[in-house]
Amino acid sequence: MVTILEHYARELEIISSSRCVLASQPLSEEEIVAGSIVASCPQYRMRKGNIAAMRRESTDLCVMARDAIKGAHLDGDGEQSDISVLRRVWNAWKISIACEGSFGGKSFGLLACNVAFEVLG
């Protein structure tokens, strides 16, 4: 699970640095999760384009991370066991709490919660 978080955080940092409107100010984790850029930019189209690309890239990253958290634990019928998925979610949540201060830790916990709600819902 730690490798999933490390990959997620690394990709999130790439999005942060490649989609910022000011070279000296990378995007925050909160901006990426919210899908908005707070900094103003004199070039409206560039800012709008960066927001669209950031949303697309972060959505793809979130889908990848959620799938990785779910894992490939299959029961005898070829379906994922809810209990095994919830165990993986719990491990992901504990790791996100431990890495809360690092870039990507908080949003990784939100993804873990999302997977738990999918399983329970």
pLDDT one-digit tens code per residue, 62-103: 999 999 999 865 555 556 789 999 999 999 999 999 999 999
**Count H helices, E strands: the chain?**
5, 0
Q: What is the pTM of this model?
A: 0.90
Number of neighbouring beta carbons within 10 Å of residue 7 = 15
What's the length of the chain?
A: 121
Nearest to 74 by CA among 60, 88, 61: 88
pLDDT in tens, 15-43: 999 999 988 899 999 999 999 999 988 89
Identify the pLDDT of residue 81: 87
Identify the pLDDT of residue 23: 82
Distance CA 19, CA 23 (A): 9
The conformational region for residue 71 under phi > 0 = left, psi -120 to 50 = alpha, else beta, is left
